Amino acid sequence: MKMKKLIAAVAVACLSSVVFADEPIQPIEAAKDINTAQAELGKKLYFDPRLSKSGFISCNSCHNLSMGGTDNLQTSIGHKWNQGPINAPTVLNSSMNIKQFWDGRAADLKEQAGGPIANPGEMAFTHELTIEVLMSIPQYVDEFKKVFSKDGITIDEVTQAIAEFEKTLVTPNARFDQWLKGDKAALNESELAGYELFKSSGCTACHNGTAVGSNSFQKMGVVEPYKTANKAEGLKGLTGKDEDRFKFKVPTLRNVEMTYPYFHDGAATTLSQAVDTMGRLQLGKKLTDDENAKIVAFLKTLTGEQPNFTLPILPPSTDKTPRPVPFE
């Protein structure tokens, strides 16, 4: 009986690996190896606007977990309504990113997390004040002590906890993943045709792997140049090399139905526009309306299970907590 079960299990395993072995996209699995205590602390920090000068902007303001981990704005709103320079990428599945930010200037989630806090156009705070605020709140002091087994709070621990929470934000079980794993009824004919077109048109050259992207930097505008008023230059901003102009991290297409508008400048309002532009500029291919619609239908099957957790309750400030200064 045991042997039978083992054989059956092996058979299923073989079958499922065969199913998506030839596919350029792999299913997302549930988050593993999470330090739950760190992640719970990180969740609070992620929602805490006291990590901003104004006391109004939290990580969740621009990477809103009710809205696909983004703000659904062309570019973000920062301190004093500053207009951000670039479209906020989704935080969902961002642990799979080869690097962080559109230009990859942060190696990992932990390094990324410190950026917006101290960016004058975003949260406009400082790492020093972040620590001062947190150290003034006994519940935070206690929780950091419990989580990191030492006294005091460092910015390294703050970003570590936020990053650990962000690692939980994966979105498994999209209909496309169900299909990949063998449930052939998970996609309809049009969605499947869209997937075939997505592959045959060449989209999977860049949009592949578990995150359907996020694993390489590519030039925006390969066949035709990309025209935009946005000043971001991608990798060139880091290397200074002209050949790196407009090289951006290929965004994930997971949950792409929720992460509008599209491109680093947020110029494409709809998925249909984004697919059309990508076809023309990257692949030199004018997709018909029917082809476009089918690819869009396929892309919508990439929406996975969204974050599912209780809204965190933040510990109150004390008399010693530095107060926000929103209007200075």
First and final C-alpha spacing in the chain: 73
Query: Which part of the chain contacts its own copies (CB under 8 A), choosing from 90-98, 229-237, 284-292, 303-311?
Result: 303-311
Number of residues that bind its own copies (CB under 8 A): 43
Query: Which part of the chain contacts its own copies (CB under 8 A), choosing from 14-22, 53-61, 144-152, 175-183?
Result: 53-61
- Peptide bond before residue 261 is cis, with ω within 30 degrees of 0: yes
Q: Would you call 257 a catalytic residue per the annotation?
A: no
Tell me which H or E stretch contains 248.
strand 247-249
Smallest distance, its own copies to C-beta of residue 3, A: 35
Q: Which of 6, 18, 83, 182 binds its own copies (CB under 8 A)?
A: 83
DSSP state string for 178-226? HHHTT-GGGS-HHHHHHHHHHHHTTGGGTS-TTTTS-S-EEES-SSSPP
Query: 19 pairs with which residues across the strands?
Result: none
Which residues in 3-42 contact its own copies (CB under 8 A)?
A: none
Instruction: Specify whether the CB–CB gap between 313 and 187 falls below 8 A.
Output: no
Beta carbons within 8 Å of 172's beta carbon, 6+ residues apart: 27, 28, 29, 30, 304, 305
Q: Which of 47, 140, 176, 298 binds its own copies (CB under 8 A)?
A: 47
* Distances in whole angstroms, Cα of residue 269 to Cα of each of 47, 234, 262, 266: 27, 21, 6, 7
Smallest distance, its own copies to C-beta of residue 276, A: 13
Asked if 244 interacts with its own copies (CB under 8 A), we say no
Q: Which of 25, 27, 53, 54 binds its own copies (CB under 8 A)?
A: 54
Asked if 310 interacts with its own copies (CB under 8 A), we say yes
Which residues in 253-292 contact its own copies (CB under 8 A)?
A: 257-258, 260-261, 269-270, 272
Instruction: Specify whether the CB–CB gap between 84 and 110 falls below 8 A.
Output: no
Please say which residue, 192 or 258, places its beta carbon nearer to its own copies.
Answer: 258
* Distances in whole angstroms, Cα of residue 235 to Cα of each of 11, 90, 221: 46, 19, 14
Q: Of 29, 111, 122, 224, which is the active-site residue? A: 122
Residues in the site for its own copies, rule: CB under 8 A? 47-50, 54-56, 61, 64-68, 71-73, 77, 80-81, 83, 257-258, 260-261, 269-270, 272, 306-314, 316-317, 319, 323-324, 326-327
